[in-house]
Amino acid sequence: MVKELIIDSTPEKGVTIALLQDKQLVELNKEQANNNYAVGDIYLGRIKKIMPGLNAAFVDVGYSKDAFLHYLDLGPQVQSLVKLTKLVKNGSYKEKLLNSLRLEKDINKAGKISEVLSRNMLLPVQIAKEPISTKGPRLSSDLSIAGRYIVLVPFSSAVSISKRIKGNAERNRLKKIVESIKPANFGVIIRTVSEGKGVAELQKDLLDTISKWELFTSRLRSVEPAQKVLGEMDRASTILRDILTDEFSHIYVNDQMIYEETRSYVQEISPDLEKIVKLYKHKEPIFEHFGIERQIKAAFGKTVNLHGGAYLVIEHTEALHVIDVNSGNRTANKENQEENALQVNMEAAKEIARQLRLRDMGGIVVIDFIDMHKPANRKELHAHLKQCMATDRARHTILPPSKFGLVQITRQRVRPEMSIVTNEKCPACDGTGEIRSSIVLMDDIENNLSFILQEQNEKDITLCVHPYIYAYVKSGFISRRMKWYFKFGRWIKVKPVSSYYLTEFHFFNGKEVEIKL
């Protein structure tokens, strides 16, 4: 499997990151500029309200709505965190690590939040879920700092290992290494990507996470309530940290600053892969060049077509997603409906696994597959769906088909669902169904072209238009473009851009030409 990462940075849309597997789009991440509530960010929260009925608290972290902190998300050592915060804020704890801190007892798992927290108390909290819809962020005070190979957990001593590392010998080796190098009063979670790594790599990653903790404690002394204490890395670096492997063949970036940052980070975590980071320099938009724009338009929307005529219908609510599988005009194996249903369902399962990652759909997902009567076929479908979702990094659970033929999936939701509207109000006609005539449009283009060439004296002009207008400009024995050549004495390059609406046009000479009237 060949993987590629395409990073598109624009001032209007922020940073959009596309993950391709064998040229197919499987993940799309957006990072808005100044996103202050990303998963992993740590804030100094102030407890605003204690809600005994919910066994939870509402916390001020500077967001427009108070964030939500449940008792089960406090972490067993929350009392030690409260103690450390008080000591650091009053200046009586000078150390950066936890060697001399006497840890408090674990809180009761079935306890009450009013026994632990009180109004106006200061408590460092970590964003567990970003603000979604009308809800504020969801928090956890069970802090952790993620590295590439390990996750550092303060106020603990346990060393745990990813379940995906199967071999007992390898598990024991990694555990012994980490136990010998970790500092006191810190626990460590060993990540899947650490399999086969040596002492030097694990120790470097551990030291990096420890330095982040030291930065956290030093900032905690002076930071004000509701302010960020420690920020997670940007989305591109987070994705690279979690999934970068030798399977990646290219990482393309169209922004010089992000390119330098990405290259530097890849060089730090995996020097052998530094050469795959490349700066995209073509004039064509990067997503257009790699065919991502087309895939986005095809993949998002209510209806998603499959090969062979079958299709999916996807409906969303705030907490529930419903996917209906339809065979459409598929006629293969017409005499054997059971076999045909199995083929369509297997194909749909693969696309559904992709759609869940692509749209980052979380909560409850109910899938209405085509009815199958043989238990063996339903079992095969369930196993195939689990296999297709094995690469999904979000925690999920897949239940077997019910007696009604429905498959239920719960999938972790930590960010707002990726929603891209593919059916939009026409910007050319503003929904009226009527646009300027082609003659008037050609007059507008020609008048602007005349001003740019004769008044602004621009050179090497390229006209970018919708493909239909492109065909109109170039068609005929004496085409429009040929007439412009006779009129202005210059050859005008014309380029089709499929993302433009019908009457949209722009002029470029390396960058977009600004018409200075």
As given in the structure block, the two tokens for residue 502 are 């019908």
Query: Phi first, then psi: what are they for 380, rounded to 5°?
Result: -65, -40
What pLDDT does residue 239 have? 78
Query: Please, what sign has the CA dihedral across residues 161, 167, 168, 173?
Result: negative
Residue type, 514: E
Distance, in Å, from the CA atom of 392 to the CA atom of 388, rounded to the nearest integer, reads: 8
Count how many Cα atoms sit within 13 Å of the Cα of residue 420 in the half-sphere of its side chain. 18
Residue pointed to by tokens 């473009």:
481
Which class for 289: exposed (0-12), middle (13-18), buried (19 or more C-beta within 10 A)? middle
What pLDDT does residue 448 have? 87
What pLDDT does residue 422 have? 53
What pLDDT does residue 50 have? 96
Name the nearest CA neighbour of 452 among 441, 461, 464.
461
What pLDDT does residue 278 have? 93
Distance, in Å, from the CA atom of 89 to the CA atom of 220, rounded to the nearest integer, reads: 7
Distance, in Å, from the CA atom of 401 to the CA atom of 407, rounded to the nearest integer, reads: 5
Cβ–Cβ under 8 Å, residues 336 and 374: no
3-class SS of residue 214: helix
Query: Phi first, then psi: what are they for 109, rounded to 5°?
Result: -60, -30
What pLDDT does residue 268 have? 83
Cβ–Cβ under 8 Å, residues 210 and 97: yes
Q: What angle do CA 382, 387, 389 make, to 5 degrees?
A: 95
Distance, in Å, from the CA atom of 219 to the CA atom of 41, rounded to the nearest integer, reads: 14
What pLDDT does residue 420 have? 61
Residue type, 217: T
What pLDDT does residue 283 have? 83
What pLDDT does residue 424 have? 56
Name the nearest CA neighbour of 372 among 337, 325, 399.
337
Cβ–Cβ under 8 Å, residues 59 and 49: no
3-class SS of residue 316: strand
3-class SS of residue 294: helix
What pLDDT does residue 189 have? 96
Measured between its terminal Cα atoms, the distance across the chain in Å is 53
Note down pLDDT in tens along the chain; length 517 residues: 788 999 998 776 778 889 998 889 998 888 765 667 788 899 999 999 999 999 999 999 999 899 999 999 999 999 999 999 999 999 888 888 998 899 999 999 999 999 999 999 999 999 998 887 778 899 999 999 998 899 999 999 999 999 889 899 999 999 999 999 999 999 999 998 899 899 999 999 999 999 999 999 999 999 999 999 998 777 677 778 877 877 889 999 998 988 888 888 888 888 888 899 999 988 888 999 999 988 888 888 888 888 878 899 999 887 789 999 998 766 555 558 888 889 999 999 999 999 998 888 888 999 999 988 889 999 999 999 999 998 888 889 999 988 788 999 999 876 666 666 555 566 666 666 676 666 678 888 988 888 888 888 888 889 999 998 999 898 888 888 899 888 888 888 999 988 888 888 999 987 888 876 5
The strand pairing partners of 29, in sequence order, are: 17
Residue pointed to by tokens 């001032």:
11
Distance, in Å, from the CA atom of 36 to the CA atom of 43, rounded to the nearest integer, reads: 10
Q: Is 338 left (phi over 0), alpha (psi -120 to 50) or beta?
A: alpha
Cβ–Cβ under 8 Å, residues 262 and 277: yes
What pLDDT does residue 349 have? 94
3-class SS of residue 455: helix
Per DSSP, the residues of 320-374 read EEEEEEE-TT--TTTT-HHHHHHHHHHHHHHHHHHHHHHHT--EEEEEEPPP---
